[in-house]
A and B are shown apart, each in its own frame.
Chain A
Amino acid sequence: MARTPVLSTRVLLICAAIGVATGILAGIAGWVTPVLLASPLLFLYGLVLGSHVLPGIIAQEVLRLPLVALITHVFAALIATAFNPAWALRFIGTALLFGLIQEGVAALTRYRSWGPWRFFLSAAVIGVVVAVVVFFAAHLAVMPVWAQILYLAISVLGPIAWTAVGLAIGTALRKAGVARR
């Protein structure tokens, strides 16, 4: 009865390690959010929300396996929630949403292609979704048109910028010979 599980314990725990590191970051982002929303720098919110793409990007770049992005996102959300319970639902929501988008894009290439374009494609999709959600959540309709455009542009660019950061981290880890298989 040698069942070979889809994801080995090793892969699960590597996801957990990445999830904890990025989850702590998300917890910090959670504290920054209300401060940012109250400040004149409000329009940078997209950049903060974009940081939530990191768990999936690093996990996919390091492990290059199905499901790792989603699982790492969930671990990160749990850890962030432990730090910052007020944002629990938002953490879990973004984790599932971003995780599913990243998994979806990876699945479209049948988990064969791991070129940077694939990561940026998922970032762009996430950016658009974020922009729409932010439009409602932050009540953008009452803002001047230029502010709406700026806000939406930054919402799309945020995930893309953080994807670049995540890719750089993942590449650096691969170079350091971490989690080689």
Chain B
Amino acid sequence: MRPSAPLLSVRELSLTHADAAHPSPRDVTFDIHPGEVVLLLGPSGSGKSTLTLALNGLIPHALPATMVGTVTAGGIDTAAAQPATLSTHVAMVFQDPDAQIVTGTVYDEVAFGPENLLLPLDVVQGRVEAALRRVGLWDRRDENPDHLSGGGRQRLAIACALAMGSPLIVLDEPTANLDPQGIDDVYAALADVVAAGDRAILLVEHNLDAAMDFVTRTLVLDRDGTVVFDGPAAEIMRGHAAELVAMGVWLPAATLAALRLREHGHSLEPLPLTPEQLAEGLEREDVSPRSARSTTGEHDPSSSGPQPPSSSAEHSDETKRPAGPIIRARGLTVRRRRTEILHGIDLDLEPGSLTAIVGTNGAGKTTLIQALAGVVPPPRGQVLVDGIDPGIASPRDLAARIGFVFQNPEHQFIAHTVFDELAHGLRLRHVPDAEINARVEEMLARFGLEHKADVHPFLLSGGEKRRLSVGTALITRPRVLALDEPTFGQDRARAAELLDLLQNLRAEGTTIVIVTHDLQLVAEHSTHVVLLADGRVRAAGPTASLFRDQQLFADAGLRMPALQRVLASAGLEAMR
């Protein structure tokens, strides 16, 4: 039917990791032809990443997994050729830009692949120049890749893939670690690559909003890793939206918003896939229903309003204190190596709120949350958390008041079993053994880790590690929980799981502070926002009122998610 031979053909492929019980993906068959842009969708754990690793032979050659069925890339059976040979047919871009860089300059980096292919010098140079120009990095070719932004480094990884000369490029969540500007840059580069028409792309992506514009086809795996849908992207998403949501597959934020609007009796036909389509749909029918915003679940955090802490006796070992801000900063000024990073921050955070600190890279978010939590002690007298000054408090007192969850959970694990990990904070405070057991058991049950009590914390899955790190921070029952980029590098499903957890904690009266780049998440889950720019508070207040003012975000160098812009312009922002 198609004139050209497929670039890739996968036949009855099942992949099983060395220590996994079931194959995922399972029995997958598909072809990819030149010019196609295929979006691979599926719930977390369905085997999307595993599948991509088999396409250039990393499975079975470099990774311990068993492979049944065949993959043929550019006419070569991957089981019979090394990834190095297959790299001219299938190029890869991975999630973490840092883990893909091996040399000292942008130019050397792109040349690395062609040099390995033993191409003549002038061919290498030609390819490097073409690839760097396509992603807009030619002018920065002599720089150290470290000096590029996250988005810049990911564009560099795409240039490296282009320079391999392979007609198929496979990208596994290429934008999961990037801020909004970086995401835009990457998709602009990809759109340019596709426009030439000579390459095909297979894309795994959770953040569909940016990708929807140029995807031509979608392939959906279900929880067991079998292909359930395969066809034009728009058709599948419109035709099977309900099934996809039920499977736990992410849809574009605009589509999810439209589905919620439909529940309130709006037709919105055809189902919008992009914010622009949603805007058109909204224009056609004059709507102002409730809760179109949330794309992660039923939560509407502000519907109940900031609550006073329930039973403070339960949540602190201290007696009740008068109402008022639980975290207070006055003139907080932080220096690192002689440069002043935070300039006189004044901040009041209410008990029971979920505050998101947002800002561009380098705005000082991490510095601020670490100073508030005493991770790096602030100058004395400038911060008060639940009645104590983190500038002078001992780690033990601090841990009783405020729990801090680091970006990478492994950094904060110190014991050899999950149980000891949780018990650590209590043992330090000389809690009697019987009570330790009771409290740890309770925490294990709450986070679904009962059967893992004796496992080494490093052997847990990513989601379990994250829950355990939150558990260790909570076990001393602090009234404040601070998290630095808790969703960084996680897929949206795990992010949603974590946010549900935070919502529950907030409902019990814990005050929560998070740093994040994900403004969609901020819009859906936070009660308050602190907007930081150049080490100063640009704005602070309830999320709903802040999100009403787009200019505020623009001034701070951020852009509101497209969906929020559409909803705002349709007058839907007042419903919170």
Contact = CB atoms under 8 A, between A and B. Distances in A.
Q: Do chains A and B touch in the complex (CB under 8 A)?
A: yes
Interface of A: 1-4, 8-10, 175-178, 181
22 contacts: A1-B81, A1-B85, A2-B80, A2-B81, A2-B82, A2-B85, A3-B82, A4-B82, A8-B62, A9-B62, A10-B62, A175-B416, A175-B456, A176-B456, A176-B458, A176-B459, A177-B456, A177-B458, A177-B459, A178-B458, A181-B18, A181-B64
A120 B177 CA distance: 45
Contacts, number: 22
A60 B108 CA distance: 32
A10 B85 CA distance: 17
Interface in B35-74: 62, 64
A108 B246 CA distance: 60
* 9 nearest A-B pairs in the assembled complex, by CB-CB distance: A176-B458, A177-B459, A2-B82, A2-B81, A176-B456, A177-B458, A175-B456, A181-B64, A2-B80
Contacts of B85: 1-2
Contacts of B82: 2-4
Chain B contact-residue range equals: 10 to 19
Contacts of B416: 175
Interface of B is mostly: loop
Contacts of A177: 456, 458-459
Interface in B80-129: 80-82, 85
Interface in B408-441: 416
A178 B410 CA distance: 12
Interface of B: 18, 62, 64, 80-82, 85, 416, 456, 458-459
Nearest to B64: A181
Nearest to A172: B416
A70 B29 CA distance: 45
Nearest to A8: B62
A2 B81 CA distance: 5
Report which residue of A4, A8, A177 has the largest number of chain B beta carbons within 10 angstroms of its beta carbon. A177
A15 to B, nearest CB: 15
A175 B80 CA distance: 34
Nearest to A178: B458
B437 to A, nearest CB: 24
Contacts of B81: 1-2
Contacts of B458: 176-178
B369 to A, nearest CB: 28
A153 B458 CA distance: 39
A103 to B, nearest CB: 24
Given A4-B82, A177-B459, 8 more contacts: A1-B85, A2-B81, A2-B82, A10-B62, A175-B416, A175-B456, A177-B456, A178-B458
Nearest to A173: B458
Nearest to B460: A177
A87 B52 CA distance: 46
Nearest to A13: B102
A177 B85 CA distance: 31
